[in-house]
Amino acid sequence: MAQTDEAAAPAEGGQPAARRFWRASWRVGTWRRGWVLALLAVLTAGLLAFHSWVPNAIGNLGSLLETFLPWLGLAVPVLLVLALLRRSALALVAVLLPAVVWLNLFGGLLTDKSSGKGDFTVLTHNVAAANSDPAGTVRMLNGSGAQIIALEELASNAVTTYRNGLAAGYPYHVVEGTVGLWSKYPISDTRVVDIKIGWTRAFRATVTTGQGPLAVYVAHLPSVRVKFDGGFTAGQRDVSAQALGDAIEAEPLKKVLLLGDLNGTMNDRSLAPVTSQLRSAQGAAGDGFGFSWPAAFPMARIDQILSKGGLKPTDSRVLPADGSDHLAVAADYRY
């Protein structure tokens, strides 16, 4: 029985007509279609490359974009699939733009930059006032191997739990307001840092390690909020960041560590008074993005370990989840 379906009939080279038609249509329209996808790809590349141009005047949109900037890379595989489905060479070429820009910004974070064990280990953790398992957090901290531990969001009714639970391994400690520092090394010269919020959420202390003294700053900057009627509200956080940056700039000791929940990422321009002076342990010695919040599905690195003065980070890592809504982060340093 003869076939009447022309698309099913064999063609030159034994290929069905349907396949020839698909290839012909690809060749004819490949550079003429997909303009919308190409424009979306260019827009994505522009936002990645020029994120600092997005203004903060309206709802702090610039800081909001910068907080979740790495996630903009998810647009690349989506656009790639759509370009293939649309059979658009134009869109395929355009997708290369955001891919290249994203790799230039974040490709270095995808490799393991650790360089072995350091002279000491530091850890910072927002333990959360509503921590569902403070005793479990204490066990995690004791087993972390850190010599210096900074804790933020210490509820008044939980301070005793942390003080007693860490006493054996960390004989030196100081608590100021809702932030605290525990250390295997002596702590001295503690001073509250006024970050302009009306109560104590930051201080500095001198920690004398076996290799020499460090100025250790512990800070918990104010939270930011995303509101439908007000955008990304971060004004108080930004004022506090400036005050903290001023204190660090005036620090007389050369070697400085900042441990804490900064409620912002290294990309957020509003933290420049702090981040312009210090370098991130995660960026210098980590493996991956090191997202620390929220613990259930980490989307941003807002818990930071930063340093200056020749301190060399040799490793940076995120610890497993505990009863907090943040993940603890730790780093090894060479003095």
Distances (CA, A) of 251 to 121, 228, 247, 278, 308: 22, 40, 6, 13, 11
| pLDDT on residue 33 | 87
What pLDDT, on the 0 to 100 scale, is given for residue 9? Answer: 47
Confidence at residue 224, expressed as pLDDT on a 0 to 100 scale: 81
Task: Provide the pLDDT confidence category of residue 15 given band limits of 50, 70 and 90.
Answer: low
Task: Name the nearest CA neighbour of 191 among 217, 220, 212.
Answer: 217
User: What is the Cα–Cα distance from 41 to 188, expressed in whole angstroms?
Assistant: 54
Q: Give residue limits of the domains in the chain.
A: 31-110, 120-334
Give the pair of three-digit tokens for residue 304: 């930071």
CATH C-level class of 120-334: alpha beta
pLDDT tens readout for residues 213-229: 999 999 999 988 765 55
Q: Is residue 127 exposed (0-12), middle (13-18) or buried (19+ Cβ within 10 Å)?
A: buried
The confidence score (pLDDT) of residue 32 equals: 78
Q: How confident is the model at residue 153 (pLDDT cuts 50, 70, 90)?
A: very high
The two three-digit tokens of residue 26, written as one number = 């690809």
Please state the pTM of the whole predicted model.
0.88
pLDDT in tens, 160-197: 999 999 999 999 999 999 999 999 999 999 999 999 99
Q: Decide the pairing of beta strands 303-308 and 279-280.
A: antiparallel
Assign 6 a pLDDT band (cuts: 50, 70, 90): very low
**Residue 98 vs residue 31, higher pLDDT:** 98
Overall average pLDDT of the 113-131 stretch: 96
Percent of the chain residues topping a pLDDT of 90: 83
Angle value at C-alpha 292, between 287 and 295, nearest 5 degrees: 125
* pLDDT at position 48 over 70: yes
| Sign of the torsion formed by the C-alpha atoms of 255, 260, 266 and 267 | negative
pLDDT exceeds cutoff 50 at 2: no
